[in-house]
Amino acid sequence: MIARVTLEVAIRKEFDYLVPPELAEQVEVGTRVKVPFGARQVFGCVTALPESSPHAKLRSLTAVISRPSLITPRVLDLARWIADYYCCPTESALRSVLPEVVRQEKEAWRYQRMARRPANPDTPARLTQRQQEILQLLEPGAEMPVSRLLEKARTTLSTLKRLESLGCLILSQSITERDPYAHETILPTEPLCLNPEQSAALDRIIRAMDGQRAHAGGGRPEAQPFLLHGVTGSGKTEIYLQAIAHALKNGQGAIVLVPEISLTPQTVERFKARFCAGPLRTLVAVLHSHLSAGERHDEWHKIRQGRSRIVIGARSAIFAPVEPLGLIVVDEEHEHSYKQEEAPRYHARDVAVVRGWREKAVVVLGSATPSLESYFNARRGKYCLLELPTRVDDQKLPLVRVIDMRSEGRHDKGPPVFSRRLREAIAQRLERKEQVMLFLNRRGYASSLQCPKCGYVAGCPQCSLALTYHRRDQVLRCHLCGHQAPAPVVCPSETCRNPAIRYAGLGTEKVEDILGQIFPRAVISRMDSDVMKRKEDYRRVLGDFRTGKIDILVGTQMIAKGLHFPNVTLVGIIYADLGLHVPDFRAGERTFQLLTQVAGRAGRGDVEGEVIVQTLTPYHPAIQFARRHDYAGFYEQEIEFREQLQYPPASHAALLTLRGRNEDKVRFTADHLRRCLDALIPHFKGLILAGPAPAPLLRAESYYRYQIMLRTRQMSRLSRALAELVASQKLPEDTFLAVDIDPMSLL
């Protein structure tokens, strides 16, 4: 018997090994094994069991690591697809589909010593008074962790062992699961009665699920993915919950992807509450990056063993071994965090669509502001569009006012941080004891330090980026690489030393500061990654805001997503243009999405909400369409521009980035690569090549970067060609090439 194995070392090759007869029963596709490789022993994953091998002399594999196999054949298939489409080695894709802690040689369950009292013990003739007291702490048949018993009985382990030898106690080891949510009590909820729009959408989804299941064995039909476009508060989550219930009824499981930032205890609880009781009762497993390794291990095995049929998690939860899989939900499908920014550079939403298609699971992509890609697919009939145009309680969408900051304040000083209108609106809310959220997507105090005399700007020594001034810590910090330096008091330039250096631009820290000066009696809190260092900070501030202890919450995109506070009646967007002028064809789309998300935070209680958007470009379409809550309008004008220039979704893009410490070498290599790529042009109709050009941030973490962008309508084919080309390239020392298919970040 022969096993073909992908090794967990960086080699783009598979190797064949003989399976010793005594291991033959345990080896199947997906099994993890230990094999000899040169003089070493390495881990690998069996990817096939071929009849024969082209190689003559095969070595034998050493051991089987885990049974049953951790990777199901279906997940293995998915990893293969990722390797092909995203141009990365199979072992790198395989590493992504299994969490690190699950890949250890030994399973990492936590054991705990338990003491149990037999149900019908033969009571020995004589027990001391003390021994009897200890036993009375346990009912017959009951059990307790030994540590607890020792504490309660104020005794020692040897005393318990003595009781064991008398047959009065049984000491054993048992697995205790680490449950990150153990301390929370959850009250079960019942399905809500849906409104007609929700019912219509759920109906379509359920029909597709039943259709898929009826044909689970054979070919057709393949249900199209659904794009559920519903404004915030339109009841999308309730539809997910009822669709999941249907999957459970059909004996299937479900995966729900949520952006990391929205994976709050609130969100998780909504899912747990629905499925913690009743006939459909099942464990809901949670996978995200804040779990400890042990917790992740336990959650993952709960899924693999089929005890959890519902998984809710961030990006990598798309690989959860749920089987059979009936439904995949990708909430906030437009979120950029679904794209992994290191190899393998997969997009979890797109992987979800592929996985759904292969496993005949129904895929539901939900968003209030769908990505252009998904909406484009819906318009072309590739996805099926479901719309929920109104909020559940028929609440009006908030009134959005756009304030032209060019006509605010005095000419000599530039626009102020707060327009008159926003100041008045805040004052009014404070008086009425309502709450305010202020949004600015930049942390720190000032975005740069400049010397007005000599023109010096403090830049990062490793990146082409100005340093941000953080006043509380009195440092200058690079927001790209984290480089930090004490804030100077005079111009650092040797020849200048001007004491009147100036801080330009603003961040959340300054907004908080100025706000405190204007409203000295208001309770103000800030939420950005500078102040929210720990999970508890985040929970505490949100708790205080919810209970009304905080009047005004200032924050970055941390406050933009998925938070519901009924008493917030005013949302202010301090500087809406911030993301508009970055060199990225998605700048408009991102701004539209962000404004819509932030605006969605206002007025979810009884009082109508108001949103004030401050901007220097009030007529920009992203701002105007967001003001009117007009997604379709925004799409129409944006898609026209993408089609004209053949940018995604009108095409697929691939971004090739070369980086190295020596700029000349990088540029030279990039030029050479471009000449090789030119050879592809005759084979791909309509292939567009651009570059090499310096990356918008030429230098990052002391590496110079040059980019080449390719655009095509035949991405799968181009990926294959790129993989070959990349494999044949000999890069000079200290020069690296990254291939990013369907890139989300162009900087």
Q: Does position 194 bind ligand ADP by CB under 6 A?
A: yes
Cα separations (Å) of 718 from 345, 680, 712, 715?
16, 9, 8, 5
Beta bridge partners of residue 17, listed in sequence order? 3
Bridging pattern class, strands 502-504 and 524-527: unpaired
Using alpha carbons, select from 191, 203, 366, 392 the residue that is nearest to residue 274.
191
Whichever of 167 and 188 has its CB closer to ligand ADP, that residue is 188
Both tokens of residue 715? Answer: 């991405």
Closest CA to 639 of 630, 650, 628, 629: 650
Size of the site for Zn ion (CB under 5 A): 7
* Span interacting with Zn ion, options 187-195, 238-246, 395-403, 476-484, rule CB under 5 A: 476-484
Q: How far apart are CA 486 and CA 178, in angstroms?
A: 42
- Cβ of residue 244: shortest distance to ligand ADP, in angstroms? 13
Give the CA count within 13 Å in the CB-facing half-sphere of 704: 17
Residue 170 binds Zn ion, judged by CB under 5 A: no
315 binds ligand ADP (CB under 6 A): no
For position 650 contacting ligand ADP by CB under 6 A, the verdict is: no
Q: Which of ligand ADP, Zn ion, none does residue 485 bind to, with CB < 5 to 8 Å depending on kind?
A: none
User: 444: left (phi > 0), else alpha (psi -120 to 50), else beta?
Assistant: left
Q: DSSP state, 21?
A: G
Minimum CB distance to Zn ion, residue 484 (Å): 10
- What count of other Cβ atoms lies within 10 Å of the Cβ of residue 526? 24
234 binds, among Zn ion, ligand ADP, none (CB under 5 to 8 A by kind): ligand ADP
Check the CA dihedral 115-117-118-123 and report its sign: positive
The least distance separating ligand ADP from the CB of residue 199, rounded to whole angstroms, comes to 9
Give the one entry of ligand ADP, Zn ion, none that residue 552 binds, where binding means its C-beta sits below a cut-off of 5 to 8 angstroms depending on kind.
none
For position 195 contacting ligand ADP by CB under 6 A, the verdict is yes
Does residue 557 interact with Zn ion by CB under 5 A? no
Q: Which of 276, 271, 275 has its CA nearest to residue 287?
A: 271
Among 270, 339, 483, 642, which residue interacts with Zn ion (rule: CB under 5 A)? 483
Which range binds ligand ADP by CB under 6 A, 7-15, 230-238, 613-621, 712-720?
230-238
- Cβ distance 143 to 115 under 8 Å? yes
Using DSSP, state whether 560 is helix, strand or coil: coil
Radius of gyration of the chain (CA): 30
Q: Measured from the CB of residue 337, what is the shortest distance to ligand ADP in angstroms?
A: 18
Among 66, 212, 237, 447, binds ligand ADP (CB under 6 A): 237
Partner residues linked to 690 by β-bridges? 709
Contacts to ligand ADP from residues 522-541, by CB under 6 A = none
Tell me if 233 contacts ligand ADP by CB under 6 A: yes
Q: Please, what is the minimum distance in Å from the beta carbon of residue 564 to ligand ADP?
A: 7
Binding-site member from 235, 321, 344, 505 for ligand ADP (CB under 6 A): 235
The residue within the footprint of ligand ADP, chosen from 31, 72, 224, 232 (CB under 6 A), is 232
Residue 196 or 217: which CB sits closer to ligand ADP? Answer: 196
- Binding of Zn ion by 695 (CB under 5 A): no
- Stretch of residues binding ligand ADP (CB under 6 A), selected from 64-72, 189-197, 337-345, 694-702: 189-197
- When asked if residue 464 is in the footprint of ligand ADP (CB under 6 A), the reply is no
| Candidates 67-75, 231-239, 334-342, 407-415; binding stretch for ligand ADP (CB under 6 A) | 231-239
- Which stretch, 235-243, 273-281, 699-707, 731-739, contacts ligand ADP (CB under 6 A)? 235-243
The closest alpha carbon to 515, from 404, 439, 414, belongs to 439
Residue 481 binds which of ligand ADP, Zn ion, none (CB < 5-8 A, kind-dependent): Zn ion
Write down the least CB distance from residue 532 to ligand ADP, Å. Answer: 23
Interface stretch with ligand ADP, choices 187-195, 513-521, 617-625, 736-744 (CB under 6 A): 187-195
Q: Is residue 238 a contact point for ligand ADP (CB under 6 A)?
A: yes
Distance of closest approach, residue 600 Cβ to ligand ADP, in angstroms? 8
From residue 348 to residue 387, the character string flagging contacts with ligand ADP as x (rule: CB under 6 A) and all else as - is: ----------------------------------------
- Candidates 230, 356, 444, 618; binder of ligand ADP (CB under 6 A) is 230
User: How far is residue 160 from each of residues 110, 118, 168, measured CA to CA in Å?
Assistant: 22, 14, 9
Q: From the CB of 363, what's the least distance to ligand ADP, in Å?
A: 17
Q: In angstroms, give the least distance from the CB of 368 to ligand ADP.
A: 7
Compute the least distance from the CB of residue 558 to ligand ADP, in Å.
18
Q: Angle between the 146-153 and 157-165 helix axes, to the nearest 10 degrees?
A: 110
**Measured distance CA(542)–CA(553) in Å, rounded:** 9
Distance between CA 665 and CA 679 in Å, rounded? 22
Alpha helices in 472-620 (DSSP H): 508-518, 535-546, 587-599
691 burial (CB, 10 Å; 0-12 / 13-18 / 19+) is: buried
Nearest distance from C-beta of residue 198 to ligand ADP, angstroms: 6
* Interface region with ligand ADP, contact rule CB under 6 A, candidates 38-46, 233-241, 245-253, 336-344: 233-241
Name the residue with tokens 């519902």: 310
Q: Half-sphere exposure of 695 toward its Cβ, with a 13 Å CA cutoff?
A: 25
Backbone dihedral angles phi then psi of residue 509, each to the nearest 5 degrees: -65, -40
CB under 6 A: which stretch of 63-71, 108-116, 193-201, 396-404 binds ligand ADP?
A: 193-201
DSSP conformation letters of 186-255 = -----PPPPPHHHHHHHHHHHHHHHHHHHTSSSSPPPPPPEEEEE-TTSSHHHHHHHHHHHHHHTT-EEE
Taken as a whole, the chain contains a residue count of 747
Per CB under 6 A, 398 contacts ligand ADP: no
Min. distance of Cβ 197 from ligand ADP in angstroms?
A: 9
Q: Which of 62, 395, 462, 714 binds Zn ion (CB under 5 A)?
A: 462
φ/ψ of 272, rounded to 5, equals -60, -40
Q: What are phi and psi of 185, to 5 degrees?
A: -95, 135
Supply 687's token pair.
Answer: 């292939």
Residue 192 within binding range of ligand ADP, rule CB under 6 A: yes
Per CB under 6 A, 609 contacts ligand ADP: no
Partner touching 462 among ligand ADP, Zn ion, none, CB below 5 to 8 Å by kind: Zn ion
Q: Is 198 in the site for ligand ADP (CB under 6 A)?
A: yes
The neighbour count for residue 356, using CB atoms within 10 Å, is: 25
CA torsion, points 290, 293, 295, 297, in degrees to nearest 10?
130
Q: Look at strands 40-48 and 2-7 and give their pairing.
A: antiparallel
The answer to whether residue 259 forms part of the interface with ligand ADP (CB under 6 A) is: no
21 phi, psi to nearest 5 deg: -55, -35
Specify whether the CB–CB gap between 277 and 350 falls below 8 A.
Answer: no
- Between residue 442 and residue 461, which ones bind Zn ion under the rule CB under 5 A? 460
**Which residue do the tokens 């003595």 mark?**
162
Nearest of 447, 511, 507, 509 to residue 478 by alpha carbon: 447
**For ligand ADP, the closer CB: 232 or 719:** 232
669 binds ligand ADP (CB under 6 A): no
Six token digits for residue 628 = 């009117």
CB of 239 to ligand ADP, least distance (A): 7
**Binding to Zn ion by residue 481, rule CB under 5 A?**
yes
Query: To the nearest whole angstrom, how small is the minimum distance from the Cβ of residue 605 to ligand ADP?
Result: 11
Give least dist CB 201 to ligand ADP, A.
Answer: 11
> Which parts of this chain interact with Zn ion (CB under 5 A)?
460, 462-463, 478, 480-481, 483
> Which parts of this chain interact with ligand ADP (CB under 6 A)?
192-195, 198, 230, 232-238, 392
